[in-house]
A and B are shown apart, each in its own frame.
Chain A
């Protein structure tokens, strides 16, 4: 069965430091790939997505992600985090079939140290 793994439940980063959140998926073909962010008690907001083409994609709020086919990974990065980046981050994939159902990772909670 297809799955998405976010191995880090929590990550703590100092303000101004760089960030990398990991996402691995299991799927035979290249899926559509997404990163979403959720602030406490809120809905999810799309940060970025990968469908095809350039494997390094830019998103909102200074985030980027790189698709690595050989590693089945789609890690999210930011060169310098801000206190407002504290939130929960979800990776999702959509199978390239008739339904394009989204499969979700369990999320990574980002904590920012002042």
Chain B
């Protein structure tokens, strides 16, 4: 079955550590997105990529980094520079350049301990 897989579902990080969240899709979508979700704030765009080896900052990119070496994969690294990383992170993908819907993974809950 086609879909988006995020791993792990739960992640704990000590302050000062970098951590990488995985996102893999087999939908053959060119466009992939990372969102952060906090209670009462909806979805905020962190980074997005429309094509392999290219990505753009979203609204809240500070303290995050991404790579897009393969079409299927769009990992997100939460760096120690992110001051408040505890949140729910969602990865999505869609067909590039069309107003079609985005498909979402099941999310990763990151907690800083």
Contact = CB atoms under 8 A, between A and B. Distances in A.
Given A9-B40, A44-B90, A90-B42, A102 B102 contact: yes
Interface in A37-92: 41-46, 49, 51, 90
Interface residues of A, number: 25
Interface stretch (B14-22, B65-73, B77-85, B103-111): B103-111
A42 B104 CA distance: 9
Interface string B35-48: 00000111101001
Dominant SS among interface residues on chain A: loop
Interface residues of B, number: 26
Contact of A32 (B43, B48, B99): B99
A100 B97 contact: yes
A94 interface: yes
B50 interface: yes
Which of B43, B48, B97 has the most chain A CB atoms inside 10 A of its CB?
Answer: B43
B101 interface: yes
A107 B40 CA distance: 7
A37 to B, nearest CB: 11
A112 interface: no
A104 interface: yes
